[in-house]
Chains A and B, each alone.
With several copies, the nearest count.
Chain A
Amino acid sequence: MQNLKTEIIYHQEISPAHFRLRARSAEIAHSARAGQFVHILPRAVNFSFDPLLRRAFSIAALQDDTFDVVYRVEGRGTALLSRHQKGDTIDVLGPLGVPFAPPVTKNILVGGGVGVPPLAMLAAQHEGDSTRRMTALVGARSRDYLVCVDDLERSGLDVRVATDDGSVGVQGRVTELLEPMLADLAPDAERPLVYSCGPLVMLRAVAKMCQTYRVPCQVSLEESMPCGVGVCNGCVVPLLNAADDYGAYRRICVDGPVMWSHEIAW
């Protein structure tokens, strides 16, 4: 983990209100692993403190000495970030957090909206590894909210899409794509590993489904993160039967963002 001033070398709106930002940082490019995130400080000018805090973004891709994040403009922080131009320097803290566990022989990536980027990176890191097959299920509100599907396909994954309005793929929820895949598993069949990242409602549904079908599941969580490095105790999630330093609570920024769904008190 380092605090770096990095240069933006690419910054484009890839679909309405969604941006892909690429910045130069050998440190991050060489050490980051899928599931980790960067904490970016959007600033208009020095001594301007609104918005005040950093914003967290999953690492979506790595190149020789650059990294990508793919984000959606939600509020003023991401709006301000989207104003930064190619050539500008941004303040980045990272890579942060616990990465995804290594894939097994069969893996199912379940992503929703801007939860897809970290899964795209996971797929890219295991591209061409025929011993670890991956399938991707992607959910989004509509075509405009679909990101990183091309990244997933470029990594050779079979990608199935579900949108609320049916503008792409089947109409419905991504969990409706997941259920049959789990239901068809013979009781004694080898269990696939499910990786999931997206809105809380989706994560909850996926976690529940995986529990029902006794399939291990890793989820990447989100919570407001003042510090991103574990010092404020602001970003916690309650765990089941855990009681140590942090009582029942874990800090998503350092004990996550990736966690085993069966450990979480949903």
Chain B
Amino acid sequence: MHSLSTQLGPLSLKNPVLTASGTFGYGQELEALVDLSQLGGLVCKTVTRHPRAGNAPPRTCETPAGMLNAIGLQNVGIERFIAEKLPYLRQFDVPLVVNVAGESVEDFAFLARALSAQEGIAAIELNISCPNVAHGLDFATDPALTEEVVSHARASTHLPVFAKLSPNVTDITLIARAAEQGGAHALSLINTFVGMAIDIRTRRPRISNISGGLSGPAIKPLALRAVYRCAQAVKIPLIGIGGIMNANDAIEFFIAGASAVQIGTATFVQPDAALSVIRGLEEYLDASSISSIQELVGSIRVD
């Protein structure tokens, strides 16, 4: 028998596969297609202090082996999230990670505090790296700001805190160390890469926001490198994110040093992609008679 269980700081998960923020709604929409209780965890769409209408359409466009998006953190705001979404999410037997974003250090602390008072939340993921809103990237591009926002959030809650970093930086290990310094229990690596596409007929950007975040298989090699480098730089657990379409992709991230993975764009292609990854991991462990996924974590051979 094998074990898929993993540990993200104080948080234990029965398996290391979570859904990525903004790609699984609040769970509701996919309930009919996906048995949520099988997930290692569910990370919900970013919640902000105040409701956000989001960006004007068009918000997405397909690119080679990827897609651009600039949703603009459309969400109902923390108040209504707690009142309307949380009760629904709570009923499922799945660890719930609430992803939050703010425009100031105080915002993040406020959101962390507000969520601490609630039942049924497994952890908080700090989205300090959304490329599609003003100030969105500021935090995750500056080590000092990153440490500050993480430490304030940490101080405002008893819940485990994950910091979700941006890959759009010169040296992500500097940001990773700062987040570790700030007390993050784990790092979510990575958010999207900033890109754009142009409609050559209209000569306009294909996305109203002009630029958007690139996700999907196209970025997998870049995300994997970010995880590998951070694994050499910090001691806290890493959550690998970026272009994971199947179990083999996920295994690359474990070998590079990730203790868990998140499935994003793949869910658009196959609603139950996360469950397929879990099944695939089980088969892989059995086939290669590895007893625990932990044996894979950071097992890359570079000698």
Contact = CB atoms under 8 A, between A and B. Distances in A.
| Chains A and B directly touch (beta carbon < 8 Å) | yes
Interface of A: 1-3, 41, 47, 49-54, 91, 93, 223-224, 226-238, 245-249, 254
B73 to A, nearest CB: 9
Contacts of B64: 49-50
B216 to A, nearest CB: 6
B29 A230 contact: yes
B267 A227 contact: yes
A91 B269 CA distance: 10
Contacts of A49: 64-65, 216-218, 245
13 contacts: A2-B33, A3-B270, A3-B271, A41-B270, A50-B217, A52-B66, A53-B62, A224-B60, A229-B271, A232-B71, A232-B268, A234-B71, A247-B74
Chain A to chain B: the 9 pairs with minimum beta-carbon distance, closest first: A247-B53, A231-B25, A234-B60, A230-B29, A227-B268, A49-B217, A49-B65, A226-B268, A50-B65
A254 B29 contact: yes
A9 B196 CA distance: 40
Nearest to B72: A233
A233 B71 contact: yes
A52 B216 contact: yes
B59 interface: yes
Interface string B42-82: 00010000011110111111101111010100101000100
Contact of B268 (A47, A51, A53, A238): A53
Nearest to B28: A230
Chain B interface mostly: loop
A52 B65 contact: yes
Contacts of B52: 247
Interface centre among B22, B56, B62, B245 (most CB of A within 10 A): B62
Interface in B250-286: 265, 267-272
Contact of A232 (B53, B56, B60, B270): B60
A248 B58 CA distance: 14
A199 to B, nearest CB: 14
Contacts, number: 112
Interface centre among A51, A226, A229, A236 (most CB of B within 10 A): A226
B160 to A, nearest CB: 24
Interface in B133-160: none
B41 to A, nearest CB: 16
B80 to A, nearest CB: 8
Given A3-B270, A223-B57, 16 more contacts: A1-B33, A47-B246, A52-B65, A53-B269, A227-B23, A229-B30, A233-B22, A233-B25, A234-B59, A236-B74, A238-B57, A247-B74, A248-B53, A249-B53, A249-B74, A254-B29
B74 A233 contact: yes
Contacts of A237: 57
Contacts of B269: 41, 52-54
B24 interface: yes
Contacts of A224: 58, 60-62
A230 B32 CA distance: 12
Nearest to A43: B269
B271 A93 contact: yes
A1 B67 CA distance: 24
Contacts of B265: 52, 226
A53 B57 CA distance: 18
Contact of A236 (B59, B67, B80, B270): B59
A149 to B, nearest CB: 28
B30 to A, nearest CB: 6
Nearest to B245: A49
A227 B45 CA distance: 15
A226 B25 contact: no
B23 to A, nearest CB: 6
Interface centre among B23, B57, B65, B80 (most CB of A within 10 A): B57
Contacts of A254: 29
Interface centre among A49, A50, A246 (most CB of B within 10 A): A49
A52 B67 contact: yes
Contacts of A3: 33, 270-272
Contacts of A226: 60, 62, 67, 69, 265, 268
A223 B67 CA distance: 15
Nearest to A236: B57
Contacts of B267: 227, 231
Contacts of A1: 32-33
A249 to B, nearest CB: 6
A230 B30 CA distance: 8
A19 to B, nearest CB: 21
A235 B269 CA distance: 15
B268 A233 contact: no
A52 B215 CA distance: 11
Contacts of B66: 52
Contacts of A223: 57-58
Contacts of B62: 51-53, 224, 226
A245 B29 CA distance: 14
A246 B59 CA distance: 14
A52 B268 CA distance: 9
